[in-house]
Amino acid sequence: MEQHRVKWIFGFALLLVLIIVLFLFNIGFGSVSISINDIFKVLSGNVASKASYTSIIYKSRLPQTITAMLAGAGLAVGGLQMQTLFRNPLAGPSILGISSGAGLGVALVVLFAGNVLGVTISGYGLLGHMTVVGAAFLGAFFILMLIVFFAQALRDNTILLIVGIMVGYATSAIIGVMKFYSPKEDVHAYVIWGLGSFSNVTWEHLMVLIPIVIVGLLMSLLLIKPLNVLVLGENYAENLGINIKHTRLFILCCTGILTAAITAFCGPIAFLGLAVPHLTKGLFRTSDQKILMPAVMFAGAVLALFCNLIARMPGFDGALPINVVTGLIGAPIVISVIIKRFKLNGLNG
């Protein structure tokens, strides 16, 4: 037990250092590089060597960095919950079609409104962006309610998972129809949204996003005990006194709210939620949610900051969408997980 504790403390210390370093890198690097002295000066309210630094940091890089951390932590926690609930290593926060729901909301305002009502939302600046966020959140929430409805009717988790995936497919199909009948510019605007971004989130948005994500993360801490027992499967969990139906609804709502809010503001961020729990388990070598839950939050923030940094590396100049980066990092992780699993199963015959 003691040797584990040392490993866990080391793991958390490592993640914390990475968060701080990556946080500073995210603020400092970009098309304009800002020295660490200037970063500290600006963040502590003093005057930096160039007046423009204050504006760059406060208006653009700081909200973007905070958004990346929140999104990474929130999606990773959602991924851990889905993987534990469905006992499936390939589940992620978007597995139940919630981010497709957000996509549907966005498609309705960007494609449908542009097409039928003759309004181009993307031309309305901030107001237009708020409409998109609102629509995405409503769409995600609608799908979440649908899933909750099915969750109450269905006892079996596997069937619920299949229903969720099917709902996602159906939603994507509706979006496909709308895309097909929409003008190029609108489809392009939708595709851009679909590639995800941490940079469209302003302080006004953050005032909404921060409390929602914090509530979601706190909720997930309440789920530590039932999630630990759910590792054994529903039957054992029920025999140990866990109320499966309530727990499942609570988990779905927790993941659902986190995913809905984050997807609404940042677009559908792929892979983070799926990959981070695996990375974390690899680092901490435990199945105890008391360790995993906070560790996954930290690791999620780290990976999101890292992806955001790469997306903004000098030379790319923000041209690389976040989903391209998460995909490129996420895909190798998923592959290595599958291979590792395969080896383990082979070991047992």
Partner 1 sequence: MITLLQSTDLAVGYAQGKANEVVLHRNINVHLQQGEFACLLGPNGAGKSTLIKTLSGFIPRIAGSVAVNGKELHDYKRGELAKIVSVVLTEKLQVTNMTVFDLVALGRTPYTDFFGTLGKRDKYLVLEAINDVGLRGFANRQLVCMSDGERQKAMIAKALVQDTPLIILDEPTAFLDLPSKIEIVQLLKKLAKNKNKGILLSTHDLDLALQLADKIWLLAQGRELEAGIPEDLVLANGFRRFFEKEGILFDNNSGSFKVEREQLKTIRVVGIGVEYKWLSHALNRTGYETTDKEGDYPQIHVDADSNKAYILQQVDGSKHEMRTIEDLLEQIKTHQL
For partner 1, the binding residues (CB under 8 A) are: 1, 222, 224-225, 228-229, 231-233, 235-236, 238-243, 281, 284-288, 290, 341, 344-345, 347-348
Min separation Cβ 286 and partner 1, Å: 6
Min separation Cβ 232 and partner 1, Å: 6
Spatial separation of the C-alpha atoms in residues 152 and 158, rounded to whole Å:
14
Min separation Cβ 340 and partner 1, Å: 9
Judged by CB, which is closer to partner 1: 173, or 339?
339
Judged by CB, which is closer to partner 1: 59, or 285?
285
Judged by CB, which is closer to partner 1: 44, or 348?
348
Judged by CB, which is closer to partner 1: 137, or 284?
284
Q: Which residues, 6+ apart, have CB-to-CB distance to 46 below 8 Å? A: none
Spatial separation of the C-alpha atoms in residues 15 and 294, rounded to whole Å:
11
Min separation Cβ 342 and partner 1, Å: 12
Min separation Cβ 135 and partner 1, Å: 38
Min separation Cβ 231 and partner 1, Å: 5
Question: Left if phi > 0, otherwise alpha if psi is -120 to 50, otherwise beta: which for 72?
Answer: alpha
First to last CA, the chain: 29
Helices 203-222 + 289-311 axis angle, to 10: 160
Judged by CB, which is closer to partner 1: 64, or 247?
247
Nearest to 91 by CA among 41, 26, 165: 165
Task: Count CB neighbours of 59 within 10 A.
Answer: 12
Tokens of 168: 């996602």
Judged by CB, which is closer to partner 1: 294, or 327?
294
Q: Which residues, 6+ apart, have CB-to-CB distance to 132 below 8 Å? A: 106, 109, 110, 121, 193
